[in-house]
Amino acid sequence: MARFPNRSSAPNRWYTITVLFLILRNIVMVRPEDGPHENTLGLIADDDIFAPLNDGCLRFAGGSKGASSFKVALFADLHFGENAWSDWGPQQDLNSVKVMSTILDIESPDFVVYLGDVITANNLPIHNASFYWDQAISPTRDRNIPWASLFGNHDDAPFEWPIDWFSSSGIPQILCSSAHDFGGDKCSFKGTTRLELMRDERRRNSLSYTGFGPRNLWPSVSNYVLTIVSPKSDSKSPVMLMYFLDSGGGSYPEVISTIQSEWFRNKSQKMNPDSSIPEIVFWHIPSQAYKNAAKKAAPRRAQCVGSMFEERVAAQEAEMGMMKLLKERPSVKAIFVGHNHGLDWCCPYEKMWLCYARHTGYGGYGNWARGARILEIIDEPFSLKSWIRMENGTLHSEVVLST
Ligand SMILES: *[C@@H]1O[C@H](CO)[C@@H](O)[C@H](O)[C@H]1NC(C)=O
Ligand SMILES: *[C@@H]1O[C@H](CO)[C@@H](O)[C@H](O)[C@H]1NC(C)=O
Ligand SMILES: *[C@@H]1O[C@H](CO)[C@@H](O)[C@H](O)[C@H]1NC(C)=O
């Protein structure tokens, strides 16, 4: 920071006032939480309205499939909406749709989890990022498969102007969400908030099981629980619970907060007081325990499967109690994260497994082959198996997570 001289002259003062005015105006303009959105959303974002569909109960298909199993595909780090002003970006989105379509057709899962960084929000020159979010969920919706999504750090990062826009070729044409909006608010460079993205997904999709967490967990939004029920069991004795958490990033720090941990403790004690129901947990950014697990496993590669050394673990900024709670629950079988595009390992940690998904999208950094982690849940006796299905159809890193 430059320091102002002691001697204050009139031009200097005006300069300071002008600069301050510009800074303040900028803050007002770029903060997506400001303005009318907060009020509108505040009024409608009631916990009950935003509880997941059907009380968050998912049922085994059974029937024609015969076998008593439930299969989940994890799509991680799709990064839709890169460089919309060039040919490259839209082509990556088409490629990502192809990856998802191929894997959905090979595996025919019962459910899909969008594990964050669905879009690259800091690369979207439109107000309505739901336009891209919608493209990302379309392969799943087109096949009539239900899904749930959670947020990654890139899903709400503010839009950044690329440096080459300041070159002689100038600023590209502004993209608007619809032709009528030209020149209006929806053509601005303002981002779309977490609340707006999630509200849009839920309002327009009857297959979406995505839930809003209670308001006291904001700014973290995607905190909710889904229950898997088999034909042999009912909602009072479910097969498995799936917890979804928002690990932050973008417009606020990359953490799972103390209040989120407390919410998890309350929820799990209420839904599974004696820890008799197996549980798994999803969020986007690996916790610091992933770093330790990788370090410990590295020399021996003990019991780990998958790609471990392509990248360093990029962990959350702090640990605020979530891992401690999970370690204390014997029912927690595994945690699944994305974020590191070059890693897809599973390693044992305490009494559970720490797992990465597999980078699914063509957007975002890195050129590692694309694929998806698949989970297979079997009832009576309970088992949880997982593997990676690649875009070219090959399968690897099969592992049993329920032991
Ligand atoms: C945002 O985009 C979605 C998907 O294209 C569209 O259905 C929705 O109406 C748009 N919302 C606004 C406020 O423009
Ligand atoms: C957890 O439960 C306690 C006791 O009922 C309550 O006081 C607290 O507000 C709850 N915390 C959260 C984050 O839900
Ligand atoms: C499929 O992709 C994987 C990962 O890139 C590669 O190792 C394998 O050789 C490919 N297999 C086929 C049959 O193309």
135 Cβ below 6 A of ligand 1: no
Question: Which region among 37-51, 68-82, 158-172, 176-190 has the lowest average model confidence (pLDDT)?
Answer: 37-51
Quickly state the pLDDT bin for 151 (edges 50, 70, 90).
very high
Given a contact cutoff of 8 angstroms between Cβ atoms, the answer to whether 366 and 262 are in contact is no
Atom of ligand 2 lying closest to residue 216 CA: 13
392 Cβ below 6 A of ligand 3: yes
Distance CA(270)–CA(330), nearest Å, equals 16
pLDDT digits (tens, 9 = 90+) for 211-269: 988 889 989 999 999 999 887 766 667 999 999 999 999 889 999 999 999 999 999 99
Task: Give 40's DSSP letter.
Answer: H
Distance CA(388)–CA(75), nearest Å, equals 11
Q: CB count, 10 Å around CB of 369?
A: 12
53-159+174-400: CATH class = alpha beta
pLDDT digits (tens, 9 = 90+) for 54-71: 678 888 775 444 557 899
Which pair of structure tokens corresponds to residue 201?
Answer: 């997904």
Going from N- to C-terminal start, the domains of the chain cover 53-159+174-400
More confident residue, 60 or 96: 96
- Rounded to the nearest 5°, which phi and psi values hold at 331? -80, -15
192 Cβ below 6 A of ligand 1: no
pLDDT for 278 beyond 60: yes
pLDDT digits (tens, 9 = 90+) for 364-395: 999 999 999 999 999 888 999 999 999 999 99
Atom of ligand 3 lying closest to residue 393 CA: 1
- Mean pLDDT across the chain: 82
Q: Which of 204, 200, 41 is nearest to 130 (CA)?
A: 200
Ligand nearest to the CA of 102: 3
pTM assigned to the model: 0.83
Q: What is the largest CA-CA distance in the chain?
A: 84
147 beta partners = 112, 208
Q: What is the DSSP string of 250-262?
A: SSS-S---HHHHH
Q: Which whole number is the average pLDDT over 89-116?
A: 97
Distance CA(263)–CA(214), nearest Å, equals 9
More confident residue, 278 or 158: 278
Distance 122 CA to ligand 1 centre (A): 18
